[in-house]
């Protein structure tokens, strides 16, 4: 594989013996290239080791972003009452602010809806471009009594990985659409399944008989399809985790756009209203840089990015799954669910 010269020294095709040998000689552990020991078991594998890759500690990043907001003098309204949106304020022909659950009105020259998976339900006009979906997340705690596993899955030896991301087949449930991480300092190993993006069409649309997909956050069980895929993958590639307790399984809610690109735009026909959404499962990594493009839209600056992220026509045919709607097979009401305790059964 021919990588650009500028990044070639950081990219390794794991089946290229010369490159992997160069890497191990430079100090990169061999376990980074074959973390699941497939070669020694005669199992086919291929892929790229990207030495610029890694992961973000999202909770700490959000805490730091909140600190920066405080430092900049941002006035925050947080909590189940003062921080809960109930309605927009309308003044003549424009949006003039919002009302919160404590019955307080907040005047604003511009309201920006940046509410992740809740965006389509708060802004129903966006439902042709956005759909709330969920990935499946499972976590396992490594016991202190297993120092061998703490060593094996340490970030110094074990990579962030993704497996056959576009290859999940719902008919066969072959492992695909999976990703995972090395252990955290606390000994937590996290898996994610994004091969099926679950929907929850439970929120009534403002008009007609249609419904809008809406985050269902009170779920402690996970779809059996996702559970089976992760467990089958572990059985083949990480069997030493099957005897451990599954700490938690949960759903992680996103907002998918029709084309996996952001929707950062003034809302047509609603002056005073703007939307910043459509992370499509990969939005968080843009946290340090995305704000600039939101500001460009606020200030009316035209750039290649404001054009790319603008409110757009709905494409015909395939629309990143949005064409399925509430009749699709991914809706939660069509799934069987399992509990975390079934991991060891």
CA–CA separation, 283 and 343 (whole Å) = 30
Of 71, 63, 15, residue with least CA distance to 43: 15
Place of tokens 């970030």: 155
Pairwise CA distance, residues 101 & 148, whole Å: 51
How would residue 328 be classed by pLDDT, with cut points 50, 70 and 90? Answer: very high
Question: What's the average model confidence in pLDDT over 31-50?
Answer: 95
* Predicted TM-score (pTM) of this structure: 0.91
Question: Does the pLDDT at position 345 exceed 70?
Answer: no
**What is d(CA 112, CA 26) in angstroms, rounded to the nearest whole number?**
49
The mean per-residue pLDDT over the stretch 142-146 comes to 97
DSSP class per residue in 219-252: --SEEHHHHHHHHHHHHHH-GGGTTS-EEEEEEE
Identify the H or E element spanning 140. Answer: strand 130-141
pLDDT at 174 over 80: no
One CATH from 3.30.420.40, 3.40.50.1460, 3.40.50.2300, 3.50.50.60 for 58-113+259-308 = 3.50.50.60
Report the pLDDT averaged over residues 22-28: 94
- Interacting residues of 57 by C-beta distance below 8 A, sequence separation 6+: none
Q: What spatial distance separates the first Cα and last Cα of the chain, rounded to whole Å?
A: 43
Share of the chain above pLDDT 70, in %: 98
58-113+259-308 and 131-257+325-344: same fold?
no
Q: Could you read off the pLDDT of 78-102 as tens digits, one per residue?
A: 999 999 999 999 998 899 999 999 9
Instruction: Return the percentage of the chain with pLDDT > 90, whole number.
Output: 83
Residue 169: pLDDT band (50, 70, 90) is confident
Q: What is the pLDDT of residue 166?
A: 84
Q: Which residue has the higher pLDDT, 3 or 263?
A: 263
Burial of 249 (0-12, 13-18, 19+ CB in 10 A): buried
Neighbours of 18 (CB within 10 A): 8
**Radius of gyration, alpha carbons of the chain:** 23
Domain ranges of the chain: 8-50, 58-113+259-308, 131-257+325-344
Integer angstrom CA distances of residue 5 from 8, 24, 131: 5, 20, 39
CA distance 75 to 98: 15
The pLDDT value recorded for residue 167 is: 79
Do 251 and 134 touch, CB atoms closer than 8 A?
Answer: yes
Superfamily of domain 131-257+325-344, CATH level 4: D-Amino Acid Oxidase, subunit A, domain 2 (3.30.9.10)
pLDDT at 207 over 70: no
What is the rounded CA–CA span in Å between residue 73 and residue 55? 29
Q: Can you tell me the mean pLDDT for 233-260?
A: 95
* DSSP letter, residue 199: B
The confidence band for 208, taking pLDDT boundaries of 50, 70 and 90, is low
What local confidence, expressed as pLDDT, does residue 168 receive?
A: 87
Instruction: Specify the pLDDT at position 175.
Output: 86
For residue 105, pLDDT over 90 is answered with yes
Non-local (6+) Cβ contacts of 8 within 8 A are none
How far is residue 339 from each of residues 134, 176, 195, 225, measured CA to CA in Å? 17, 21, 20, 12
- What pLDDT, on the 0 to 100 scale, is given for residue 206? 66
pLDDT digits (tens, 9 = 90+) for 175-202: 899 999 999 999 999 999 999 999 999 8
């Amino acid at each position: 594989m021919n990588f650009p010269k500028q990044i070639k020294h950081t990219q390794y095709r794991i089946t290229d013996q010369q490159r992997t040998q160069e890497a191990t000689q430079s100090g990169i552990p061999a376990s980074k290239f074959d973390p699941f020991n497939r070669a020694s078991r005669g199992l086919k594998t291929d892929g790229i080791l990207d030495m610029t890759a890694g992961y973000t500690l999202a909770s700490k990043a959000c805490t730091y972003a909140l600190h920066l907001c405080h430092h900049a003098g941002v006035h925050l309204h947080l909590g189940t009452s003062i921080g809960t949106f109930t309605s927009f304020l309308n003044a003549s022909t424009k949006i003039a602010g919002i009302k919160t659950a404590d019955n307080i009105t907040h005047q604003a020259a511009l309201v920006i809806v940046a509410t992740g998976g809740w965006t389509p339900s708060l802004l129903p006009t966006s439902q042709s471009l956005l759909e709330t979906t969920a990935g499946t997340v499972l976590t396992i705690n490594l016991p202190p009594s297993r120092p061998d596993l703490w060593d094996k899955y340490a970030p110094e030896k074990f990579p962030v990985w993704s497996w056959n991301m576009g290859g999940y087949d719902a008919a066969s449930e072959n492992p695909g659409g999976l990703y995972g991480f090395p252990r955290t300092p606390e000994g937590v190993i996290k898996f994610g399944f994004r091969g099926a993006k679950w929907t929850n069409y439970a929120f009534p649309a403002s008009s007609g008989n249609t419904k809008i997909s809406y985050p269902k956050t009170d779920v402690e069980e996970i779809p059996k399809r996702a559970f089976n895929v992760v467990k089958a993958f572990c059985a083949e590639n990480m069997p030493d985790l099957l005897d451990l307790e599954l700490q938690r399984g949960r759903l992680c809610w996103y907002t998918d756009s029709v084309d996996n690109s952001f929707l950062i735009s003034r809302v047509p026909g609603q002056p005073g209203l703007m939307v910043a959404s459509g992370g499509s499962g990969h939005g968080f990594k843009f946290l340090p840089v995305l704000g600039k493009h939101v500001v460009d839209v606020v200030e009316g600056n035209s750039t290649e990015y404001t054009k790319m992220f603008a409110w757009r026509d709905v494409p015909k045919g395939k629309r990143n799954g949005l064409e399925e709607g509430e009749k699709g097979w991914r809706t939660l009401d069509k799934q069987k669910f399992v509990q975390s305790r079934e991991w060891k059964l």
